[in-house]
Structure 1
Amino acid sequence: MREVLQSTDAVGDEVNGILPSSLPTVTELALALVVLLVGWFFSKLVVRLVGRTVARRIERPSVTRTVLRGVRVAVLFVTVLVVGAILGLSGGQIFLSVTVVSAVIAVVLAPLVSSFINGFFVLADRPYEIGDMIEVTDEGHRGFVEDITMRYTKIFTLQNTFIVISNSEIQQRDVINYSAEDERTRISVAFEITYESDLEAARRHAERSARGVDNVISGGPDIRIGSARYAAAPVCTVQEYADNGVLLELFFWIEHPYKQQIARSAVHTAVRERFLDNGIEFAYPHRHHVFDDTSGVGRLAVDSRGDPDSGDETRERPSTVGGADSDTTGTSDE
């Protein structure tokens, strides 16, 4: 029993050593508030002072912003320690407070932990950067990366809206980066021409039509993608001899990826106008019905009546058409 009392007294002495001996005075509270405000504004000032140096050394906007956020958090943490000392809190109390708050955050905000981890991989792997044009393929979101944090990625879409996607979610999706290395993008349009049209002339006019469209690269050195090289000028190729005509596909490069729809529409219009001027027809479904000796037998019934006042009637009996044994039988009833 005596040992239990002694251990209880020891715990009480430790707790008393952690807790403040007296409540803070009004002066101490006011001073702590002033220090907190000064620390808040000082953290902003530090970020401004070191911002250019950090940006010049790192040369990556996303990492630069993350580092500056860490600098500000560090300044604020030191400010909290100073405020705690003014209020008479010991180091053990501050450590205990931080531990309790961290435990609460870990329990309540556990789903955010994965976002922070994936945010680290986003910053390390560099799949996209601030200012890049990306597309989340499964959702159809396309726009420019506005900000990358440890928790989320903010996208400014081409529809003038903001989309915020957590890093844990965007890491599991297919993301297309249109401006990672080179903004030049290759797109294509497909169309069919009739078999009666001049195929080589159609390909030649299609390529010339694309060259005259704004934002389309009309020529120059070949564009290299990996180990392959592609002609910079528009190229029209035969894709298939389809049921209704010859399927052609026109490939061309544009300078800016965010003008894909505009460039594609302009090329469609230019090709149509040039084809009309040069007598090249677009194909559409045709159906030709041919009847000969091998077409089978079809039966036709015609019933025509004469003048009802005269009482004459003329009827055509069923007959066969399309074959060699076709005959027509007619009768007249009075």
Structure 2
Amino acid sequence: MIMNWKYWIIISSILIGAYVLAFVLRKLINLFVKRQSKKVNVDPTNFSFIKNSVSFFVYTGGLIAVFYVTPSLKNISAALFASAGIFAAIAGFASQKAFSNIVGGIFILIFRPFGVRDTIEIDNMHKGVVEEITLRHTIIRNYENRRIVIPNSIISDATIINSNIIDEKIKKFVEFEISYDSDIDKAKQIIREEAAKHPFLLDMRSDEEKANNTDQVIVRVVGLGEYSVKLRSYLWADCNDNAFVLHCDLNESVKKRFDENGIEIPFPYRTIINKTK
């Protein structure tokens, strides 16, 4: 009984020590990142991944130590090794997804399709800012301030749109539809004027284009529909968030100017004929 209590104390000490060690290491990494971020522009992706990896390896080491110091568990481990073939098959099947997530996380760290704080879109479904990359999953904060947890194996096979990689500037297409009776030239002029007034609009013209008085905002007719003419403006902003605000503000200001100048934004008409006998 004394031996049993002795081993219980040892096991408890190892597990508590592993927890404390993982906690301290994570705190030290967080402190290091905060200090370094004040000096240089530190990419937190590596530190986030290392922080989560440290906990995994510390807990794994603690579990191995528990098996090593406990005779009864040594016998269990020997029996497991004796049936290693069956155990490997079961464990391999059970951990296939978990292992693929870990490999996916490592690939994200190595090949860097995105990093923490990048704005990304996964398979045209999930869009937001990357908050954390762990061994198993990646956490994205969407524009509703909700967290989306996506396994790394899914991200590895997904198409990713990264708004921050290399160049954060973004070209935004803002489209408007007007009726066939409306003045196209007037509508294009209104769109150009309202866009040029917005503080988030970037002037991407070359020096030659500026010298030639080329319009800062290009507006083109891109479609003739059943009941409308589609106009598209090409706008530049310095980041995805500002491009979104630019789009929304332009929708509002152009709509007001269209109303003032008699330019109709059409909608389909439906005629209902009620026949009575």
- Note if 1:210 corresponds to 2:195: yes
Q: C-alpha displacement at 1:38, in angstroms?
A: 2.3
> Distance between the aligned counterparts of 2:60 and 2:99, measured in 1?
21
Structure 2: gaps (5+ residues) = 207-213, 269-277
- Offset, 1:209: 0.9
What corresponds to 1:281 in structure 2?
263
Whether 1:271 aligns to 2:257 is no
**What does residue 189 of structure 1 align with?**
174
Q: Which has the higher strand share?
A: 1
Structure 1 residues 269 and 39, CA, compared in 2 at 3 Å: closer, same or farther? Answer: closer
What SS does the corresponding residue of 1:121 show, helix, strand or coil?
helix
Counterpart code for 1:282: E
Q: How is 1:2-41 mapped onto 2 (pairs within 5 angstroms)?
A: 24-41=3-20
Give 3-state SS (helix, strand or coil) of 1:204's partner: helix
Name the structure with the higher helix share: 2
Which sections of structure 1, spanning at least 5 residues, go unmatched?
1-21, 224-230, 287-334
Provide the rounded CA distance (Å) in 1 between the counterparts of 2:162 and 2:221. Answer: 29
SS at match of 1:124: helix
1:71 paired with 2:50, answer no
Residue 27 of structure 1: SS of its match in structure 2? Answer: helix
Checking the alignment, whether the CA contact within 8 Å between 1:233 and 1:253 is kept in structure 2 is: no
Is residue 144 from structure 1 mapped to residue 129 from structure 2 by the alignment? yes
How many angstroms apart in 2 are the aligned matches of 1:46 and 1:98? 32
Q: Measured at CA, do residues 193 and 25 of structure 1 come closer, stay the same or move farther in structure 2, by a change above 3 Å?
A: closer
2-structure distance, mates of 1:35, 1:193: 72
Aligned to 2:119: 133
Structure 1 pair 237/34, CA: closer, same or farther in 2 (3 Å)? same
Higher mean displacement: 181-190 or 255-264 = 255-264
Deviation at 1:157, TM superposition (A): 1.8
Q: Which amino acid aligns with 2:9?
A: A
Distance 1:189 1:266 in 2: 11
- Would you say 1:253 and 2:236 are equivalent positions? yes
Question: Deviations along 1:84-127, whole A, 9 cap, x unmatched?
Answer: 5544579x769748856973532322233322223322222212
In the alignment, which residue of structure 2 is the partner of 1:239? 222
The question of 1:166 aligning with 2:166 is answered: no
Distance in 2, Cα, partners of 1:87 & 1:59: 44
Q: Output the CA distance in 1 between the equivalents of 2:244 and 2:203.
A: 23
Q: CA deviation at 1:192?
A: 4.0
Deviation per CA, 1:199-249, whole angstroms, max 9, x where unpaired? 4443222111123345x31x44549xxxxxxx9943222334666565421
In 1, distance between residues paired with 2:115 and 2:144?
20
Written as runs of structure 1 = structure 2, the 5 A alignment for 1:48-63 is 48-50=27-29, 59-63=42-46
Shift of the alpha carbon at 1:134? 1.6
Q: Which of 16, 19, 23 is the matching residue for 1:44? A: 23
AA at the equivalent of 2:193: R
Distance 1:199 1:85, change over 3 A: closer
Q: What whole-Å deviation, never above 9, does each CA across 1:268-298 have from its counterpart, x for those lacking one?
A: 2211222344x35236489xxxxxxxxxxxx
The TM-score normalised by the length of structure 2 is 0.70
Partners of 1:88 and 1:232 lie apart in 2 by 81
Q: Which has the greater radius of gyration?
A: 1
Q: Secondary structure at the match of 2:164?
A: coil
Gap change, CA 1:43 and 1:182, over 3 Å in 2: same
Cα-to-partner distance string for 1:287-319 (whole Å, 9 max, x where unaligned): xxxxxxxxxxxxxxxxxxxxxxxxxxxxxxxxx
- Residue pair 2:218, 2:234 contacting (<8 A) in 1 also: yes
The two structures, once aligned, show a CA RMSD in angstroms of 4.1
1:2-40 deviation digits (Å, cap 9, x = unpaired) = xxxxxxxxxxxxxxxxxxxx9934234224322331232
Worse overlay, 198-207 or 123-132: 198-207
In structure 2, do the counterparts of structure 1 residues 34 and 155 end up closer, same or farther at CA, with 3 Å as the change threshold? same
- What is the SS of the residue equivalent to 2:11? helix
* Inter-partner Cα distance in structure 2 for 1:36 and 1:126: 34
Structure 1 vs Structure 2: percent identity of aligned residues?
Answer: 21
- Residue 113 of structure 1: aligned partner: 99
What one-letter code is carried by the residue in structure 2 that aligns with 1:27?
Answer: K
